[in-house]
Structure 1
Amino acid sequence: MTTREVVEQFLGLLAAGDPDAVAQIFADEIDWYVPGSDRLPWTGRRTTPAEVADYLRVLGENIVPEENIDKVEALVVEGRHAVLLGEFTRTARSTGRIYRMPIAMHFQVADGRITKLYLYEDTAKVAEAYAQ
């Protein structure tokens, strides 16, 4: 599979909402990073597919998934690298606050599996949405 095909498969599986299926398209060892804080338990580094599935479960417990709006504005691919540019809209389950922000995701793919995923988002805006 090409880098573009793997990333598009990731996006489709993510939209379907099955954390274990998403995790299966990651390599055995990965470099995953979502910046954040201790107040946001889904943020931080991950290194295995099982941790990706856990990330998605914890995130799903903290947002209202049926209210997600994901807009992909561009997917730029060069060799093993892909960069997705877009916008996420989420609702914080604990406060009911809606937050919308531009995002970028950097993927690296090898042998048909994702080896790296970095999510760049407005972590201050996310933390604010969950502040009590």
Structure 2
Amino acid sequence: MTETTLTTRDAVHELLARIGEGDPERIAGMYSEDCDWRLDWPEEEHGSPATPWIRHRRTRADAAEHYREIGRHHRPEDVATEVERILVDGEHAVVLGEIRQTAKPTGRAYRARFALHLTIEGGLVTRHHVYEDSLAVARAFSR
């Protein structure tokens, strides 16, 4: 393994640990000031009132707000994430797994498979692209 791979893997593990702790400001500290943040959702559903955290982002402050919005819309006692695999290639990493959450507004639980493509430069996330089961999330939040 190269030093870049170790650095990338270590940064991904640190990011996941911070996400698990749930402090949006500490999580955002892992992101660069300018970050390419994309979510694989139908464009017309980005930033809907039911799922406002689902939208593209650009800054570290945006990253913090993303995690705050997730917290506001989910029951914290019903959150679980299973990371099944972390694949690293240079400064790129892909995290594969499943999230389990419960929507606060509807009380519906959901499970969603995901792939998270990260790019790490200088120990910070510069790319955060999420591919998830958007139908499962949308159904949990639909009234």
1:53 aligns to what SS in structure 2? helix
**Which residue does 2:57 correspond to in 1?**
46
Residue identity matched to 2:109? I
| Unaligned stretches of 5+ residues in structure 2 | 1-5
Aligned to 1:33, which of 30, 38, 41? 38
Q: For each residue in 1:81-110, what CA deviation from the matched residue of structure 2 results, as whole angstroms up to 9, or x when unmatched?
A: 000010110100001100002111000010
Aligned to 2:131, which of 120, 124, 127? 120
Aligned to 1:19, which of 20, 24, 35? 24
**Which residue does 1:103 correspond to in 2?**
114
Identity %: 36
**Which residue does 1:6 correspond to in 2?**
11
Residue identity matched to 2:59? T
Report the TM-score, using the length of structure 2 for normalisation. 0.89
- What pairs up with 1:58-69 in 2 under 5 angstroms? 58-69=69-80
Give me the whole-angstrom Cα distance separating, in 2, the residues matched to 1:26 and 1:101.
Answer: 24
Aligned to 1:56, which of 67, 77, 91? 67
How far residue 65 of structure 1 moved from its aligned partner, in angstroms, is 1.8
How far residue 35 of structure 1 moved from its aligned partner, in angstroms, is 3.4
2:51 aligns to what SS in structure 1? coil
| Unaligned stretches of 5+ residues in structure 1 | none
Moved more, 119-128 or 4-13: 119-128
1:95 aligns to what SS in structure 2? coil
**Which residue does 2:3 correspond to in 1?**
none
Give me the whole-angstrom Cα distance separating, in 2, the residues matched to 1:121 and 1:26.
Answer: 20
How far residue 66 of structure 1 moved from its aligned partner, in angstroms, is 2.0
Contact 1:35–1:44 under 8 Å retained in 2: no
Residue identity matched to 1:85? L
Report the TM-score, using the length of structure 1 for normalisation. 0.96
- What pairs up with 1:77-96 in 2 under 5 angstroms? 77-96=88-107
